[in-house]
Structures are given as C-alpha cells and as structure tokens.
Amino acid sequence: MRFLLVIFFFLNVAFSNMSISELEVLADKGSVNAQGILATMHYWGKGVPQNYSQAKKYYELAAQQGHATAQYNLGVMYNYGEGIAQDYAKAREYYELSAQQGYSKAQYNLGVLYDRGEGVKQDFVKAREYYELAAEQGHVAAQYNLGVSYNRGEGVGQDYVKAKEYYELAAQQGYAPAQHNLGVLYDKGEGVAQDFLKARECYELAAKQGHTGAQYNLAHMYLKGDGGEKNLMISKEYFRQACDGGSQKGCDDYKRLNKSEE
C-alpha cells in the first residue's frame, strides 16, 4: 500500500500558552505561527469546535506567506476533500509549493499522486523522482515506495537489489510493510541469496506490528519448518492472527489445520 500522510501539527512552544483570542490577534497581524496553530486547532478540534472552514482560512493565510507546512496541509485538505470539494489538482498545486521548499511530506504526497494518477496523468517516473527527494531526507514511506517501484519495475528498470536497499532503509526505521517485503525477497531469493532464516526474522518483526501478510507467511514457515523449527501450534496461531487481521487465506488455512486435527 502507498499511504498519504495526514495533517502535520504546527509546534511552537512560545505560542503554546496563549489563549485563542491572543492567537487570533497575532494571526490578524500576520503571524504565520499563530495562523498555523489556529488552523491546526480548528482542523483537529483542539480547544475549539472542529471547523474545517476556519482551518482552511488560517492555513491559506500562512501559505500565502510561503509557509511550507501550511501549503502542505492545504494540499492534504484538498486531497481528502475536508471542508471543501475534493480537488486533486489543487492538492498537487499546494504540494508543489511546499515540495519546492524541500518539504519531504509534500514531496512524498506528490509522488503518491503521480503514482495513482490523481489530479495528474499517471507517471511512475515522476512518482519515483519525488519519492527519491523525500527518501533522501529519511522519509520512511518514500523509502518503502521506492523499494516497491524497483521491485515491480515501475518508472525504473526492475531491480531487486535496489528494492532490497530501500526496503532495508525503511525496515531499519521499524516500517512493517518494508520488513515484510524484505522478508519476501529473502524467502524467494530475489536480489539476495535465498535465506529462509532471514526471511523468518523479517516476517517476525512485521508480524509483531500486526502485518497480516507477514503473519500469514510466518504461519507457512512454521508449518513447513522453513528457516527454523517446524511447529504446528505456532503456525496455527499466526494463521489465526492473519485471519483476525482480515486475511481470508489465513482464515481458510486456520480452518483447514483445525479440521486436520479432528
């Protein structure tokens, strides 16, 4: 899956103890921090009733002053149609303003728009370029999506070695989908020597975070004894977890194992 990031908070200790009225006075005087804080408060309904129109108003004021986070947050609002009509083209416009300032979250979301063809013509090359900009700044989902791009050969020649490189970067930050996909590479021997033990280790890291694909794959490894011990009870437990997480295959295999023991 390729996720879009949601509204990012404005954080400014100097403004944290101010009342709403004090923030409004500063915002009217052009304080970009006050505008951003008020926008985020209205967006989430923190200290004020949730009001997307007010959030949009204050984000626009801050965005007009070139504030990258406000530009990004406006992009998110248009992306999801929160308080306004959903408009991918407007989302792209604000993401671009923010991305031009090096804001990694906007770079990533632009990549997702090009990846999906939302508000733009689908373009895997452009998606990869934006993912690379964000990944260079340590953006974990961008690193993962680059891995997927190389894994599938989307916007670039298929390259399992490069896919592994980016999956590892994301996996090191604890990103479960990357840990799972890295496990798949080791499981299949794609871009690496086949190594069931490494595959099992990667799946376990992702499974602990509730990744259903990893839980399902681990169940099969314990069922067959790939990469370590063969253990029917542990296999069943992982099938059950995968089933509870929405995996129909996990449910089917869990039922099959239970029947075989009757």
Q: What is the CATH number of the domain that holds 6?
A: 1.25.40.10
CB of 98 within 8 A of CB of 71?
yes
Specify if 44 maps to a domain: yes
Long-range contacts of 96-100 (CB under 8 A, 24+ apart): 97/63, 97/66, 97/68, 97/71, 98/68, 98/69, 98/71, 98/72, 99/130, 99/133
Do the domain assignments include residue 217? no
In this prediction, the residues of the chain whose per-residue pLDDT falls under 70 are 1-16, 261-262
Q: Is residue 154 included in any domain, yes or no? A: no
Question: What is the Cα–Cα distance from 224 to 181, expressed in whole angstroms?
Answer: 20
The answer to whether residues 95 and 106 touch, using CB atoms and an 8 Å cutoff, is yes
In a domain, 79, yes or no: yes
Tell me whether residue 51 is in a domain: yes
pLDDT at 14: 61
Please give the distance of CA 88 from its chain centroid, rounded to a whole number.
18
| Residue at 121 is within a domain | no
> Where in the sequence is the domain holding 9, given as residue range(s)?
1-103
Q: Give the model's pLDDT for residue 93.
A: 97
Residue 10's pLDDT is 58
Count of domains in the chain? 1
Contacting residues for 262 by C-beta, under 8 A, at least 6 apart: none
Q: What is the pLDDT of residue 9?
A: 54
Within a 10 A sphere around the Cβ of 8, how many other Cβ atoms? 16
* Stated pTM of the model: 0.88
Whether 10 is in a domain gets the answer yes
Q: What spatial distance separates the first Cα and last Cα of the chain, rounded to whole Å? A: 38
Determine, yes or no, domain membership for 141: no
What is the per-residue pLDDT for 201? 97
pLDDT at site 260: 77
In the structure encoding, which two tokens stand for residue 208, read together? 């602990």
Q: Cα dist. 224→32, 68, 70, 179, 244 in Å?
A: 59, 52, 52, 21, 22
Burial profile 20-45: b = 16 or more Cβ within 10 angstroms, e = fewer: eeebeebbeeebbbbbbbbbbbbbee
What b/e sequence results for 231-261 when a residue is b if at least 16 CB atoms lie within 10 Å of its CB, and e otherwise? eeebbbbbbbbbbebebeebeebbeebeeee
